[in-house]
Amino acid sequence: MDHRLKEEKYRQLLPQLASVIQAESDSIANMANISACLKETFDFWWVGFYRVLAHGDSKELVLGPFQGPLACTRIKYGRGVCGTAWKERRTVIVPDVELFPGHIACSSASRSEIVVPILQEDEVVAVLDIDSRFLNTFDEVDRLYLEKLAGMIRL
Ligand code: SME
């Protein structure tokens, strides 16, 4: 997608998502609508959330609201792109998933990916994961606006 068109779409979408989030206190409902709006706006392959939840004595990422095909349900700390974004507490952009060591392939159609951590009181509480069926889909524009969006989400 053209760089400026993409930026324009994010500029229009973010205030709409801010209203959605302000109008509803339930985070599952909000993550569901955010997934739907991102998928509809950009025709991404898969958009969804994984929440950091307790698992015995440790924690792992557990699948939350999403749009797209069936996905793996649990991801361990440091594993795959999602577990890496959680561990390193930073957005991870993967231009070609085949070149990312340890990438977890939920769908063979996915070619590139971005994962943005959602922090609360300095802890990663969830990640927003977006997959594209094209190589090199995500860049600094996506990072900028998706990090702004992540900053609005309260779990
Ligand atoms: N590819 C991700 C797993 C989640 S799916 O893409 C929906 C990863 O490597 O963490």
Residues 69-96: tens digit of each pLDDT: 999 999 999 999 999 999 999 999 999 9
Q: Which residue has the tokens 């569901």?
A: 32
| Conformation bin of residue 81: beta by default, left when phi > 0, alpha when psi is -120 to 50 | alpha
In this structure, which residue's CA is closest to atom 7 in ligand 1? 71
Answer whether 152's CB lies under 8 Å from 90's CB: no
63: CA distance to ligand 1 center in Å?
Answer: 10
Residues 137-152: tens digit of each pLDDT: 999 999 999 999 999 9
114: CA distance to ligand 1 center in Å?
Answer: 9
Residue 3 has pLDDT above 90, yes or no: no
Residue 1, pLDDT score = 78
Residue 127, pLDDT score = 98
The answer to whether the CB of 114 is under 6 A from ligand 1 is no
- pTM for the model stands at 0.97
Residue 124, pLDDT score = 98
